[in-house]
Structure 1
Amino acid sequence: MTAKKIIKYLCVFVVAPLIVLCGVFFFGDRKYAFISLVLSVVACIPFFISFEKGKNDARRIVIIAVMTALSVAGRFVFAPIPFFKPVTAIVIITAIYLGSEAGFITGSFSAVVSNFYFGQGPWTPFQMLAWGLIGFLAGLLAKKLVESKVMLIIYGALSGIVFSFIMDVWTTLWADGTFNIARFVASITTAAPFTVVYMVSNVIFLLLLTKPIGSKLQRLKTKYGIF
């Protein structure tokens, strides 16, 4: 068994149960908020380790850093327009052309880096997890997303729902310290207009950016034989 698999198994079968037990015994009414927050961070660890242990070189790291910077800059530029951001689209494009791990890293770092400006808080790990998972899944579906514009549009729209859903889970847990289904439904309902904006913005930015950015990434892959 490789070290990578051992770490993943430890996170799932040892660390996660310990976090749950600590939350139950030491955090009282806020245990679910604590558990959900820490588990979101732990869920990111195997992906970061997997990337770190891969056959990376300076070019790969620089390209991923550039895509992360582009994502963060996009969030800054469109800050005046609530919930209309290119972050998800850039994360998806990165994953399609550079792979799942690059997508996850770009998504999660986009959240933590941009939040040094927008504000760090207990919501940051959930944003990291949401954007990271969207990127990771996009990498797995890369072939279909490249071949079919319809699939790309559908995935972009669904990504808006997934991001909103994960953030609504955080909102519910942090408000009550437990998972209150009534509040969760209320959160989803209240956030519905914003979710629609997420979906529309993802689709628009994917249609505008996939071809120009994707062609540049493909050229870099071909020229330097990376990813």
Structure 2
Amino acid sequence: MSRGNDRQARAIRLGPRSVAALVLVSAVGVVAFGWPFLAPPGSRLTAHAQDAPWLFAGLLVLLVGVVAATISESGLGPKAVAMLGVLAATGAALRPIGAGTAGLEPMFFLMVLSGRVLGPGFGFVLGSVTMFASALLTGGVGPWMPFQMLAMGWFTMGAGLLPGPDRLRGRAELVMLAGYGFLAAFAYGTVMNMAGWPFMGGLASGIAFAADAPVTANLARFVAYCLATSMGWDLGRAVVTVVLTLVLGPAVLRALRRATRRAAFETAVTFEASQG
């Protein structure tokens, strides 16, 4: 097979405006997740610790919508929309399978493989839409949903940014994707902990966010919170992602790449003039 045929198709080619929108929403997302460590003790933001997550949640909904619209304008054609719908529906259906069972969430491996094949732009939209659809499916709509959408968008986009999309194949690619999935599963759990941690208030004084405490003390509390509440869940998610990637990855990657070749996302649609 020629090198030209090995070039991996992209459902979305990001333009300068789309990249700028992604950078903006990611910067706001970093603040939304990490504000307890960015705001100095006694600031007006920390004084409203219980309100801040709600404010950021509303802002993130708007920003994720703006990014999705911007990326769509950059070339999300009908073929890409159809694939987005199929993959988002599949991911949303996979998520409830292991819900409530030690982090057994098979949707994560599908997000890794889809982001790898279809690229970072499509990956961000897919991750966000999948999490939104799964929240509606499972009734998990709340102030945490925009944070989940952004975190899953990052998770899936990151897979599309991994090196060697046109050259790396076989076992080496699977090992790289499994390693990424393992680390990203923990990263996802950690950033989602940051979104929910300020809600605790005084329910668990030893590990709860303290608005008047210095950053170092709150960081120690946050680490203790992660170890006490989510380490087992994150480990389960990471292990399941690795196992499914190594076992089902070859077949799923082939299917996704075959679908992208047949869809010919980057081929312009043309119409032949009728002969009258």
1:212 aligns with 2:251: yes
Q: Find the partner of 1:92 among 105, 109, 112.
A: 112
Q: Describe the shift of the 1:140–1:211 C-alpha distance in structure 2 as closer, same or farther (beyond 3 A).
A: same
For the Cα contact (< 8 Å) 1:130–1:166, is it kept in 2? yes
| Corresponding residue pairs, total | 221
2:161 pairs with 1:140: yes
Query: Letter of the aligned partner of 2:151 in structure 1?
Result: A
Q: In 2, Cα distance between the equivalents of 1:64 and 1:80? A: 27
Q: d(CA) in 1 for partners of 2:126 and 2:20? A: 24
Q: Give the corresponding residue for 2:206.
A: none
Instruction: Establish whether residue 47 from structure 1 lines up as the match of residue 67 from structure 2.
Output: yes
SS of match in other structure, 1:148: helix
The answer as to 2:128 corresponding to 1:108 is yes
Give the match for residue 172 of structure 1.
197
TM-score, normalised by the number of residues in structure 1: 0.81
Q: Structure 2: which 5+ runs fail to align?
A: 1-14, 36-42, 202-208, 267-276
Aligned to 2:9: none
Alpha-carbon shift at residue 88 of structure 1 (Å): 1.4
Is the partner of 1:109 in helix, strand or coil?
helix
Alpha-carbon RMSD across the aligned residues, in angstroms, is 3.3
- Tell me which residue corresponds to 1:186: 224
Higher helix share: 1
The higher-RCO structure (CA 8 Å, 6+ apart) is 2
Quote the Cα distance in structure 2 between the aligned partners of 1:64 and 1:47.
15
Q: Give the counterpart letter for 1:183 in structure 2.
A: R
Q: CA deviation at 1:30?
A: 2.8
Question: For each residue in 1:66-119, what CA deviation from the matched residue of structure 2 results, as whole angstroms up to 9, or x when unmatched?
Answer: 011111111123336341011211111111111112211121112111112242
1:2-41 equivalences in 2 (<5 Å):
4=18, 24=44, 28-41=48-61
1:124 equivalent among 127, 136, 145:
145
**Length-normalised TM-score, structure 2:** 0.68
Cα distance in structure 2, aligned partners of 1:118 and 1:210: 30
Q: 1:115-160: per-residue Cα shift (whole Å, max 9, x none)?
A: 1224211111111111110111110115267553321221011011
Aligned to 2:87: 67
**Separation in 2 of the partners of 1:163 and 1:157?**
10
For the pair shown, which has the larger CA radius of gyration, 1 or 2?
2
- Structure 2: how far apart are the matches of 1:151 and 1:9? 25
Structure 1 residue ranges, 4+ long, deviating more than 6 angstroms after superposition? 8-14
